[in-house]
Amino acid sequence: MTARPVLHADADAFFASVALRSRPELAAVPVAVVAHVYIASANYPARARGVRSGSLAQDALRQCPELILMDVPRAEVEEVGDALFDIFHNSATAVEPGSIEEAFLDVGATDWAGAIDAGHALRRRVARELGIPISVGVGSTKLMAKLASRRAKPDGLSVIDAGEEAGLRTTLPITDVWGIGATTLQRLHRIGVLRLGDVDGIPPNELQHVCGTAMARRLWRIRDGTDDAVVRPVEQRSSLTAEGSTAGFARPDKTPGELAEACVERLCKRAERAGLAGTGMTLTLRPETGGKAVVRKRTLVAATTGRADWLAVAGDLLAGEAVPRLAGLRVTLTGLLPLDRVQHTLF
């Protein structure tokens, strides 16, 4: 293999792992954290008992009566997420974020042994400094690295080498290729594409008709081994997000106003620590009925980290128009700029 190996690093049962930092004695028993009335994240012992994230907490308890439920410590989750990315950036020459707790990394290693060593070192460092387990996958492309990290879970490292990769490019179930929607999957299954190698038997026109030109090209590239292997770094964070739910679990319920205020406080603190100032705010309101989220935005004339400014903006956005009862909300600070570039507007 000549290409530079790609790493995929992904925290295991992230929310549950963060919650368990303060209750290490519970690590081996089924534990799940709850957001509103749903399971946000279940640890591996709970998963082994059939507890799934996204299910109702009461259903999960019926499935696993000894399940221990905990509140989501949102502020802590967000801080650990920030710290995790600080470690990623510190350990890699390029970081492409996937979510608050996963990323593709180019660690600058030109050979496999170097990449694997870097993966072990990264796992040790995150465990030592943050007290949470992450799994790392190493592969020649982003898809291979991601498949490897999935297999490495929980708390492991896995490598897909050239030999295994060659086999996977024929035998990989199409459901394991990330980013294919449920409808497209059904259509592919209907024409007999269950595994990657099955695309060989489908005329190009038909494949494009069934899953669209872009997806067809992606499938051919994956089949050929020329799929995406470039870690595209994000120069700096362009936004920071904080969120919470109104219904408390092992804590009092919160009003939307209290939630928005807590989110703004956390965002200002995190932005300041990262040396960034925001120019815009987006407020996303999640109705209790599960309907479509309501999104409101505001842009300021000048970047600022001022709490008072952002609390006022959040208050305005929230007061905008009558909203149905809320399950929760999300506040995003957008258009982040390095503080040293906006000093003149601050003082």
- List, by residue number, the catalytic residues: 102
CB of 22 to Mg ion, least distance (A): 20
Toward Mg ion, which CB reaches closer, 155 or 265? 155
| Interface with Mg ion, residue 126, by CB under 5 A | no
Stretch that binds Mg ion, among 2-10, 70-78, 199-207, 272-280 (CB under 5 A): 2-10
| Interface with Mg ion, residue 10, by CB under 5 A | yes
Toward Mg ion, which CB reaches closer, 45 or 278? 45
Q: Quote the CA–CA distance of 33 and 17 in Å, as a whole number.
A: 9
Backbone angles phi, psi at 195, to 5 degrees: -125, 160
Toward Mg ion, which CB reaches closer, 11 or 147? 11
Q: Quote the CA–CA distance of 296 and 315 in Å, as a whole number.
A: 12
Angle (CA) 335-347-240 rounded to 5° is 25
Measured torsion, CA atoms of residues 119, 125, 130, 136, in degrees rounded to the nearest 10: 10
Q: Quote the CA–CA distance of 152 and 171 in Å, as a whole number.
A: 19
CB of 11 to Mg ion, least distance (A): 5
| Interface with Mg ion, residue 11, by CB under 5 A | yes
Strands (E) across the chain are located at 6-11, 31-35, 38-42, 68-71, 94-99, 102-106, 134-139, 157-159, 240-245, 276-287, 294-304, 326-334, 337-338
Contacts of 125 (CB under 8 A, 6+ apart): 87, 91
CB of 102 to Mg ion, least distance (A): 5
CB closest to Mg ion, residue no: 10
Stretch that binds Mg ion, among 4-12, 32-40, 108-116, 190-198 (CB under 5 A): 4-12
Toward Mg ion, which CB reaches closer, 105 or 303? 105
Stretch that binds Mg ion, among 11-19, 42-50, 66-74, 212-220 (CB under 5 A): 11-19
CB of 103 to Mg ion, least distance (A): 11
Toward Mg ion, which CB reaches closer, 77 or 109? 77
Residues within the interface to Mg ion (CB under 5 A): 10-11
